[in-house]
């Protein structure tokens, strides 16, 4: 049997449910209006996810809100346990976080340290890794420059806009130089111009460093602009990866070019189909409930 390549991520029959005692949830009114447990007696958010991500790949996850993208990334980051199946990195089970897997969270407010200024936030991981001061200074300066925060080094998070806070988080991750960058809708809160700048910076970093990037978005155009491959989620409950598409273009990509626009249209259809898998499941369940009533 061929040995798994180093840093290859293998996800096999992975399922996740948040609470094992689903019965109590089913009868609880206090579930935050969450529909996930309706028609879903097993309580699975993700069900039977299968995927292999190659070392150095730029892999985009695309899916509707609430389908389980963050859940999957948190499992790959080591923050959450899976319920069933496997999530392997280099053949080893992912069980806990590791500095080789840097995470950029969806919400910068809770991710960056409120009591540290921009420079110190970005420097944090390097201090933990005992990188010497000279090297640290150079790395931090470069990372801050890359995300366009030069001149703001002394500001604290409460003095920054939402987009600036997100850039601090990205710079912190880049500075720590992880082998795998796990990014959960990192550009969702940015204006179009900053978003484009950071997308291009990320492509450049990826090309220069050969990092593996796992990138979640619900923005179709962003997925097509960035991804080497795009995995499209079906909707929760029991969400899985409906299809994985290889994007047939090199970089940089022109979203307005006829080829790319036509391809984006095709991916849009696949995304609609993936969401419809869920609607079909729901209709079938409703039908079954009607029959049994």
Ligand X SMILES: Nc1ncnc2c1ncn2[C@@H]1O[C@H](COP(=O)(O)OP(=O)(O)OP(=O)(O)O)[C@@H](O)[C@H]1O
Interaction mask 185-224, ligand X, x per CB under 6 A: ---------------------------------x------
Considering the complex, what minimum distance in angstroms separates the CB of residue 25 from Mg ion? 20
Decide if residue 81 touches ligand X (CB under 6 A).
Answer: no
Interaction of residue 110 with ligand X, rule CB under 6 A? no
> Residues 78, 86, 108, CA angle at the centre, nearest 5°?
25
Q: Which of 53, 60, 67, 77 binds ligand X (CB under 6 A)?
A: 67
Kindly state whether residue 65 participates in binding ligand X, applying the rule CB under 6 A: yes
Total residues contacting ligand X by CB under 6 A comes to 15
Q: Which of 4, 10, 12, 18 binds ligand X (CB under 6 A)?
A: 18
Taking CB under 6 A as the criterion, the residue among 5, 20, 34, 280 binding ligand X is: 34
Q: What is the DSSP letter of 256?
A: T
Task: List the one residue from 71, 173, 176, 177 that touches ligand X (CB under 6 A).
Answer: 71
Footprint of Mg ion on 54-83 (CB under 5 A): 70
Chosen residue from 56, 63, 157, 186 binding ligand X by CB under 6 A? 63
Residues 6+ apart with CB under 8 A from 182: 73, 76, 77, 101, 102, 103, 104, 214
Interhelix angle 192-209/162-176, nearest 10 degrees: 0
Matching residue, tokens 């496997």 = 86
Residue 217, interface with Mg ion (CB under 5 A)?
no
CB 86 within 8 A of CB 93: yes
45 binds ligand X (CB under 6 A): yes
**176 near 209, Cβ under 8 Å?**
no
Relative to beta strand 101-104, strand 180-184 is: parallel
State the residue for tokens 């991750």: 173
User: Count of CB atoms within 10 A of residue 73's CB?
Assistant: 24
Dihedral angle over CA of 275, 108, 121, 99, nearest 10: -30
Judged by the rule CB under 5 A, the positions of this chain that interact with Mg ion are 70
Judged by the rule CB under 6 A, the positions of this chain that interact with ligand X are 18, 34, 36, 45, 63, 65-71, 106, 218, 236
């Amino acid at each position: 049997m061929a040995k798994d390549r180093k840093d290859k991520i293998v996800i096999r029959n992975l399922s996740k449910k948040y609470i094992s005692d689903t019965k109590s949830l089913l009868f609880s009114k206090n579930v935050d209006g969450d529909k996930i447990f309706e028609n879903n007696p097993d309580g699975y958010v993700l069900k039977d996810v299968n995927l292999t991500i190659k070392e150095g790949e730029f892999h985009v996850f695309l899916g509707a809100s609430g389908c389980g993208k963050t859940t999957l990334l948190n499992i790959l980051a080591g923050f959450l346990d899976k319920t069933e199946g496997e999530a392997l990195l280099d053949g080893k089970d992912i069980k806990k976080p590791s500095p080789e897997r840097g995470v950029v969270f969806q919400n910068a407010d809770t991710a960056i340290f409120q009591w540290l200024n921009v420079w110190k936030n970005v420097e944090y991981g390097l201090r933990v890794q005992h990188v010497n001061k000279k090297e640290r200074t150079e790395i931090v300066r470069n990372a801050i420059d890359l995300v366009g925060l030069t001149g703001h080094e002394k500001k604290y998070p409460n003095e920054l806009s939402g987009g600036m806070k997100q850039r601090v988080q990205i710079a912190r991750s880049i500075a720590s130089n992880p082998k795998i960058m796990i990014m959960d809708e990192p550009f969702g809160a940015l204006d179009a111009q900053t978003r484009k700048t950071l997308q291009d910076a990320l492509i450049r970093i990826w090309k220069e460093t050969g990092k593996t990037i796992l990138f979640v978005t619900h923005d179709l155009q962003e997925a097509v602009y960035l991804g080497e491959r795009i995995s499209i989620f079906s909707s929760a409950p029991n969400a899985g990866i409906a299809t994985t598409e290889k994007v047939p273009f090199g970089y940089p990509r022109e979203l307005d070019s006829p080829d790319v626009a036509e391809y984006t249209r095709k991916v849009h259809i696949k995304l609609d189909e993936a969401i419809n898998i869920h609607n079909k499941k729901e209709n079938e369940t409703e039908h079954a409930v009607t029959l049994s009533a």
